[in-house]
Amino acid sequence: METKIKKDWNDRGKSNEELHRDTKIWSSEIHFINDEIHFLEHLLSSRYIDCLASGLGKKIEISVKKISEEKINGQLLLKQILKHDNMLSDFIKNNSVYSNSNFMENHKKLALEIENYEKKYKRLKKQIFEIVEKIMKKTAQKKLI
């Protein structure tokens, strides 16, 4: 039998299992984004000469800086998620999840923080792909000439 949390998420409670699943999904998403960041760093570094030749060096520098910031933010979020999940485990063992409204509020805040992180990262990734696309087009045009 699942025990329901008294706090509402869109007019329904969340069970302990759902709360734990949230933390696992968040952690997985952050790890995936971290892998993508590694790929984007490699992509930009391998295209750096083309970027300079196409006049997009400054945009790449800005993007690399933003990627580094997102990498750090992701690591900080992972630490928060791990701490949050450990607290959840302790509360479940002590059967005190329901009575800790502060924990439930932190769960909601962390969910929002992760959602914002993902949105910000997706915007950055889109910008990087647009830059790489411009570089590829300029490189292709030069090969035709």
**Residue 72: pLDDT over 80:** yes
CA–chain centroid gap for 90, Å, is 26
CA–chain centroid gap for 123, Å, is 11
Alpha-carbon gap, residue 2 to 9, rounded angstroms: 16
Alpha-carbon gap, residue 104 to 33, rounded angstroms: 26
* 3-class state of residue 110 by DSSP: helix
pLDDT tens digits, one per residue of 77-95: 999 999 999 988 887 787 7
CB atoms within 10 A of CB 56: 19
pLDDT at 6: 40
pTM higher than 0.85, yes or no?
A: no
- For the chain, the structural domain boundaries read 16-144
**Residue 43: pLDDT over 90:** no
